[in-house]
Amino acid sequence: MKTPNTFRRRFVLGLLVVLTVMPVQADRHWDEDEKHDHERARHALRRGEVRPIAEILASVATQVPGEVVEVEFEHERKRDHGPQRWRYELKIIATDGRLLEVEVDAATGRILKVEED
């Protein structure tokens, strides 16, 4: 029987493979509506704007235990034209069966919000 940790390890390994194998064109303009999350994440990682997804998932797992079932990578736009930041939105099935949405600052790994989905 597979444990949640086995699933998480395989999920993280798969994400790492995708993030390291996909080609990146550094000079190209990245339009969020046209590109996939993994391409934007890899580009932001190369520019030093975010932490690796493996670090993010490991940190979140210690604070919000459960099974990660979805990961989204988004650029948060501020209304007041303040600094913009990248964030990860994780869907986690908690150990008690609830589906949680966890927002994480991709640059710092700090959890911004946890709510039931």
Q: Mind giving me the DSSP string for the chain?
A: ---HHHHHHHHHHHHHHHHHHS---TTS---TTTS-HHHHHHHHHHTTSS--HHHHHHHHHHHS-EEEEEEEEEEEPPTTS---EEEEEEEEEETTS-EEEEEEETTT--EEEEEE-
Q: Is the pLDDT of residue 24 over 50?
A: no
The full set of domains in the chain, from first to last, is 4-116 (3.10.450.40)
More confident residue, 94 or 77: 94
Binned at pLDDT 50, 70 and 90, residue 18 comes out as low
Binned at pLDDT 50, 70 and 90, residue 36 comes out as confident
